[in-house]
Copies of this chain bind each other. A is one copy, B any other.
Amino acid sequence: MPCMYKVLSGKEPAAAILENARTEIAKLARKPSLVIVLVGNDPASETYVRKKLEKASAIGIDAKLERLGSDTKEKDLLKLVKKLNKDKAVDGFIVQSPIPKHMDYSKIVEAIDPKKDVDGWTSTNIGKMFLGVGGAFMPATPIGVIKMLEFYGADLRGKDVTVIGRGNVVGKPLAFMLLERDATVTICHSKTRNLADHTKRADIVIAAAGSPLLLKADMVKEGAYVIDVGTSKLGEKIVGDVDFENVIKKAHCSPVPGGIGPMTVAMLLSNCVEAAKKRS
C-alpha cells in the first residue's frame, strides 16, 4: 500500500534555508565568522559540532572550532567567552551543550554578548523574543520546527497545536513562536495527567520530551502533522519521541534522524549570517 502521508524530511527545507544563506553571504563584503566552543569530548556533541562546521564551510562561513579539555575551570571558559565577545573578527559563537557538570551552563551563556549569541540563549535575546520587540536571534531548534511546518504547507493559524515537553531549548520558545503565528497552543509534560487526550485532538503535535517512542499511532488524529524533536539511543538505534513506523500510516511525520536535525544546523547558520549582516 502506498503511503498516503508525507515523510517530513528535514533535508529539503534545510537545503532551501542554506541556499538562501549562501545568497546572503555572497552580498557581504567579507565572510561571516562563527566559532564553536566544545568543552570535553561528548560523542554526540562531536557529531553535532562536525556537522555544523561542515555545513558552515560549505556555504561560505568562516567556521572555527575552539576545543577545551573536560577538566577546564569555569573561570577559564568564562575568560574565553569574554575574549570572543571582544574579538572583532568573530560575528557569532556558541558554547556547545552539554558542558561538563562542574560548570554552570546558564552562567556561561549569560556571559555571551547578545549580539554574538547566535544560539539565542542569553536572557536578553529570550526576553526580546518573548516581548516580540524584534532584533533577537531565535533559538535554532524551535524556529527550525516552525520553518519545517511552513515548508510542508502546514497552516498554523487557528490550529490546535500540542507540544510535548516544556524545556527551555524547545518547548517553551516554541510555544511563543506558535502563538505568534495564531495557533492555539497546549504544552504537556511529564506531569500531564492524560497525554493522549491532548495529542488526539491536535492538528499538529510536536514531541520534544526526550522519551523514546512515547507517541504512538493511537494517540494521533488521522491526517495530523507530527514533528519529532526527540533523539534517544535505544540499544544501537537512534530513535525519536515518535513511533514513526506506525504513526506515518496515519499522519504526516518527520523522521529521526533526518528530520529536525538538519533544520537546527541550518537555522544556526542562518542566525550567524544575520549577525554578520548586522555588524557589517
Contacts of A184 in B (CB 8 A): 186-189, 191-193, 198
B124 touching A160, Cβ below 8 Å: no
Contact A186 B185, CB 8 Å, known A130-B130, A130-B172? yes
Shortest beta-carbon distance from A104 to chain B in Å: 9
Decide: B187 and A179 in contact? CB cutoff 8 A: yes
Q: Is B127 within 8 A of A158, CB to CB?
A: no
| Complex Cα–Cα for A201 and B188 (A) | 15
Residues of A within 8 A of B (CB-CB), count: 36
Residues 125-137 of chain A: 1 if any B CB is under 8 Å from the residue's CB, otherwise 0? 1111011110000
A245 within 8 A of B: no
Given A122-B127, A126-B127: A187 and B158 interface contact (C-beta under 8 Å): no
CA distance A158 to B186 in the complex (A): 13
- A50 CB within 8 Å of chain B: no
Q: Other CB < 8 Å A-B pairs besides A123-B123, A123-B124, A185-B186, 8 of them? A: A123-B126, A123-B131, A124-B127, A126-B126, A158-B193, A159-B193, A172-B179, A186-B186
29 A/B residue pairs, CB under 8 Å, sorted by A: A106-B131, A106-B133, A110-B133, A122-B127, A123-B124, A123-B127, A123-B128, A123-B130, A123-B131, A124-B124, A124-B127, A126-B126, A127-B130, A130-B168, A130-B172, A131-B168, A157-B191, A160-B193, A172-B176, A172-B179, A175-B187, A179-B189, A182-B189, A184-B189, A184-B191, A184-B198, A185-B186, A186-B186, A197-B201
